[in-house]
Structures are given as C-alpha cells and as structure tokens.
C-alpha cells in the first residue's frame, strides 16, 4: 500500500490517560484545583475568586480563617438555641401547674406552683430554689403568653449578640436578680412568680448593646419605660422584680460586652462570679430580718 507523502508511518499515537480525581479515583478528569493543583472532578470543584477550588481546600480555608465575632465574642453564624429551650421549659411548667390545679385561672392549687413561687418567708426557711424557680411560673394564659412573646422578640437578637451561653447567663441572672430584689425589699408574705424578671434583664441588656453599637436607643428606652409604667399602674405586677431584673441585666451585659478582647473568657467569668456574689450578699443581709418558722 502506498503511503501518501508527509503522513507518518505506523499506528496513530495514543492520547495520554487523564488523571483521576483526588477524591474519586474512578473518575478521570482534566480539571484541577487552582489552589492545590490536584485533579478534581466537576462535583468536587467550587467557583472561587481566582479559578476554582476543591472542597478539601475550601474546608481547610474555613478552619484556618478566623471567624468573625460579635462585641461579646460570640460567633455570628449561630442560630438561637437557648431561647426556644427557655420558652419550652416555661410552657411545660405552665402545663404541669394547670394539670395539677385542674384549673387554668387559679393555679395555686398546684403543688408545683406552691413550692416554686417566691414567698420570702418560706424562701428564708429553706425554700431557696424559689429564687430561681419563681421565674418559670405563670398565673394565667395571658401572663405566659405576653412573657413568651416578649422573650421571643427580644431574645432572638440578644442570643445572636451574646451567644447561647452568655445569653443564658444574662437571662438566669436576671431571674435571680429580680427575685432577690423581691426577697430583700418586698413583703415577707407577698408571693411572686413570672418570667418577666428575665425578660426585663434582656431589655436592660438590649439597651446596653444598642449603646455599645452606637445605635439610636430611643425605641428600647421607650419599651422599658412603657413596661415600667405598666408595672406601676396594673395591680399584682411586681415592680421590684422588674427593676431587679432590669438592673441585673444592664450590669451583667455591660461587663460582658466591654471586657478586653484579650482573655475575654476569663474577664467574663469573673464578671458573672462577681454578680452572683453580690446577689448572694444581698440575700445574706436580708435573712436575719425574717423569722424562722418552727
């Protein structure tokens, strides 16, 4: 057979085999990661500012890149998780008290309500848990509904700013601080219950946050003033509990968002411990003034 002039003699040259994807050895690919230069299939590549990066390089970049944080040191990509837990606990406790009392309007027939509601005279005589548990009781459907709506509206932003752990601390210290105010300055035989101590703590914390972020605080101030006026005008609402929660929330949140970024966790821990010591000190001052029941 005559070979035309200029045509190579012999079998045609074979193309070199494509390399396999680094993560999928059974997939030949002509693509590469522009960062590590390893072969990668289409499924393993993501568009980047320059070229395309494999998923392994992207994961490594996320690990080594410093995540942005809020003014309290919380990560900005977390969704609220403590807030729904707090609401769930409040609702569960309310359901239990309704079942025990067999009434939705008079819950004082519930043994849980009677043991958990803050009554300073009983608290001084060994029912110390009331300084916390009273913040998870409610006397009516309207009571819990209003508190849970306020907790949800304010708590969503506050947990994002503070982070789950700090948010929970501010809320619980607000409950404790509000009940301590009732215990120290209130009547010995006047019962108190409600999550509004913690809600007012979050209001106070929100006021601190908007000032710290240099945002117009007028709406938050108006919210606090309106709720304090309601506390005075409507009978049966504990003004002492609201003021105690508000002041505690302001003080604790101010410390949490203003400590130095260096050794932030240490300073925030010291702040929380100091707040607990101060509140326990107030309780200790009040105890000798209340009679011992025999």
Residues noted as catalytic? 196, 242
Tell me if residue 54 falls in helix, strand or coil: strand
Q: What is the distance between the alpha carbons of residues 258 and 212, in angstroms, rounded to a whole number?
A: 8
Q: What is the distance between the alpha carbons of residues 195 and 246, in angstroms, rounded to a whole number?
A: 12
Tell me 52's DSSP state: E
Which has the closest alpha carbon to 153: 141, 142, 165, 145?
Answer: 145
For the chain, the first-to-last Cα distance in angstroms comes to 124
Reading the block at residue 207, the tokens are 């006021």
List Cβ neighbours of 273 (8 Å cut-off, separation of 6 or more). none
Cβ proximity of 238 and 185 under 8 Å? no
Q: Give kind and range of the element (H or E) at residue 53.
A: strand 52-54
Cβ proximity of 268 and 189 under 8 Å? no
Helix and strand numbers, DSSP H then E, in the chain:
11, 2
């Amino acid at each position: 057979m005559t070979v035309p002039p200029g045509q190579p003699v012999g079998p045609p040259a074979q193309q070199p085999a494509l390399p396999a994807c680094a993560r999928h050895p059974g997939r030949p690919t002509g693509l590469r990661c522009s960062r590590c230069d390893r072969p990668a299939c289409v499924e393993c590549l993501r568009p980047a500012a320059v070229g395309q990066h494999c998923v392994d390089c992207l994961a490594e970049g996320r690990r080594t890149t410093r995540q942005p944080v809020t003014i309290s040191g919380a990560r900005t990509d977390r969704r609220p998780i403590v807030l729904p837990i707090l609401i769930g606990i409040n609702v569960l406790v309310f359901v239990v008290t309704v079942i025990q009392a067999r009434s939705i309007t008079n819950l004082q027939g519930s043994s849980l309500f009677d043991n958990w509601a803050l009554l300073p005279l009983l608290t001084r005589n060994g029912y110390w848990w009331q300084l916390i548990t009273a913040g998870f009781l409610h006397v009516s459907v309207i009571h819990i509904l209003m508190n849970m709506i306020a907790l949800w509206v304010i708590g969503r932003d506050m947990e994002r700013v503070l982070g789950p752990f700090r948010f929970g601390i501010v809320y619980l210290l607000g409950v404790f601080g509000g009940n301590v105010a009732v215990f120290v300055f209130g009547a010995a035989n006047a019962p108190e219950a409600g999550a509004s101590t913690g809600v007012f703590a979050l209001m106070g914390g929100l006021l601190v946050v908007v000032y710290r972020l240099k945002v117009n605080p007028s709406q938050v101030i108006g919210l606090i003033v309106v709720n304090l006026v309601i506390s005075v005008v409507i009978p049966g609402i504990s003004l002492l509990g609201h003021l105690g929660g508000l002041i505690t929330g302001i003080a604790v949140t101010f410390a949490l968002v203003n400590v130095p970024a260096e050794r932030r966790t240490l300073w925030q821990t010291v702040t929380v411990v100091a707040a607990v010591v101060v509140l326990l000190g107030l309780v200790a001052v009040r105890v000798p003034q209340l009679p011992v029941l025999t």
